[in-house]
Chain A
């Protein structure tokens, strides 16, 4: 009995030793800032003088007096609920198709290219496509066909900013999920396919639903959480396409609101409250996905 206790104590110490380097850095650079922000969301901290506890005032202000916040909330929901699922499904389908295709290394590189060249090069490309003058690729094309007589103002028209940004985001964000799923498909146990064939599971789709997908639950979950976090946290794509703030706040999202209050107005307390709301919404969706894809119910 004593021996077992000693051994399990040793095992615990070893486990902690293995985990410690990660945990120290994680606490210092990720966890502490998050906890600090949650704390600030109950204050009127402005980076300079004010730092008083104000209770739930920031939250009340957000929902009762801040119409731009409500607009940002709506935009973020619309954006995430379209861009998220489309990008998730497309990246899985591509990984699944490419996984047993000839020349997949080259195809995979081409598919992952937007993620590699992120930033300036991507901005140049979508400007090239969606430029609001008659030289923009799409405008030029439509005008040559005679479908429109004057160029469409892609990045200024209040109705078009969101749809175009959703399109660009999907285009940009498929790479990460794609690589995750590729790695997951490679980790799948090949023996199960032979066993499945004996049990009468034949055909690509039957194999996909009965053997591949159940095996890939860990990767499917990771991809889903990452897509949710990414699509609810969207800001860069919209701000570089439609400017910041976007015309009539048509492309204003929650992270844009955070950025506005934290780095333009220096109202850290208020910005933190917006972050906490965004966090709660994202977390709710994340939990739902975890419930659906939990790897424990095998």
Chain B
């Protein structure tokens, strides 16, 4: 038994032993977490501020008289154009989901091949991939534009999806988890007559669940919040995604649009929080080993 310093709290018949260090840790964590959650709280609070609170100087952090006006303004501000607001939301969802699915499947199967199969030049390939992680992405914009343009993919969903699928980040991430998979599991499955595809889907993929769930979060957040690629690859209004639309609402300039902007930011944060919560619950509550033990 571990011995800890602590004290007893007596609540009637109930007696709880609380360790001092545990309370201190909780306090510190709560303090830090309050600080890091500020941006999220601000986004939520701002979405419900009436116009006079939005434009007040000095700015106020918390909403005082909550209202739904901003969401009406958002619909009004965007419905005047020929493309309905919902179209941008659908564009964003389609591009992000497709990017996530393609990234997970292509990266994890490639990582499995590199770690556990007889891929030639393993080390050279791995070093090459990790090395590109350290090259400034700024300079890849122009060459990528040329490729997309030459493939005739301008103004298509593929232009927003293809360049993001095979990144060094995702591959390196999954590869690190694949390293931890004991060879014995694979051998056992092969002896039972499973082919490599079955080994991958039945053994490797379940083992890498925490890794893949985490990669879903990274990939989704990056794709969903990307306000840059659509500026480069998309010229048609109907193909734009949410972040670009929000930017154009913001730069349209009139102060009255501040409300629409706040509501739009709120709407754009909701899916990322949902995906995060969904995936993180899977990471935290599924033990990778329990399935294979």
Residues of A near any B CB (own CB < 8 A): 8, 11-12, 14-16, 18-19, 21-26, 28-34, 36-37, 47, 94, 97-98, 101, 104-105, 107-122, 124-125, 128, 135, 140, 171, 174, 176, 179-180, 182-184, 186-187, 189-191, 202-203, 215, 218-219, 221-222, 225-226, 228-229, 232-233, 235, 254-255, 258-259, 262-263, 268, 271-272, 275, 278-279, 282-283, 286, 295
A221 to B250, CA, bound (A): 40
A187 to B173, CA, bound (A): 13
Residues of A within 8 A of B135 (CB): 34, 37, 275, 278-279
Is there a chain A Cβ closer than 8 Å to B194's Cβ?
Answer: no
Are the CB atoms of B211 and A121 closer together than 8 Å? no
Q: Which residue of A lies closest to B107 (CB)?
A: A22
Residues of B within 8 A of A259 (CB): 138
Given contacts A105-B284, A116-B276, A186-B288, 8 further A-B contacts (CB under 8 A): A11-B118, A117-B269, A179-B218, A187-B289, A228-B134, A229-B133, A279-B131, A286-B130
Q: Taking the nearest CB of chain A, how far is it from the CB of B105, in angstroms?
A: 8
Q: 9 shortest A-B CB distances, which residue pairs?
A: A135-B58, A22-B110, A25-B166, A15-B117, A218-B176, A18-B113, A33-B143, A110-B37, A282-B134
Are the CB atoms of A179 and B214 closer together than 8 Å? yes
A110 to B2, CA, bound (A): 31
Are the CB atoms of A116 and B118 closer together than 8 Å? no
A98 to B35, CA, bound (A): 16
Interface pairs (15), CB distance under 8 Å: A21-B166, A23-B125, A25-B106, A29-B140, A29-B147, A112-B276, A117-B272, A118-B221, A119-B225, A121-B265, A128-B42, A183-B211, A187-B210, A222-B176, A275-B138
Most A Cβ at <10 Å: residue of B167, B176, B180: B176
Are the CB atoms of A12 and B118 closer together than 8 Å? yes
Q: State whether A18 and B112 are in contact (beta carbons under 8 Å apart), knowing that A94-B32, A283-B134 are contacts in the complex.
A: yes
A21 to B171, CA, bound (A): 12
Are the CB atoms of B243 and A295 closer together than 8 Å? no
Are the CB atoms of A105 and B281 closer together than 8 Å? yes
Are the CB atoms of A186 and B287 closer together than 8 Å? yes
> Looking at the complex, which one of B134, B144, B180, B225 makes contact with A118 (CB distance below 8 Å)?
B225
A19 to B178, CA, bound (A): 14
A36 to B38, CA, bound (A): 42
Residues of A within 8 A of B193 (CB): none
Q: State whether A109 and B280 are in contact (beta carbons under 8 Å apart), knowing that A29-B162, A32-B143, A286-B134 are contacts in the complex.
A: yes
Is there a chain A Cβ closer than 8 Å to B184's Cβ?
Answer: no
A286 to B281, CA, bound (A): 32
Q: Taking the nearest CB of chain A, how far is it from the CB of B137, in angstroms?
A: 8
> Looking at the complex, which one of B38, B109, B169 makes contact with A125 (CB distance below 8 Å)?
B38
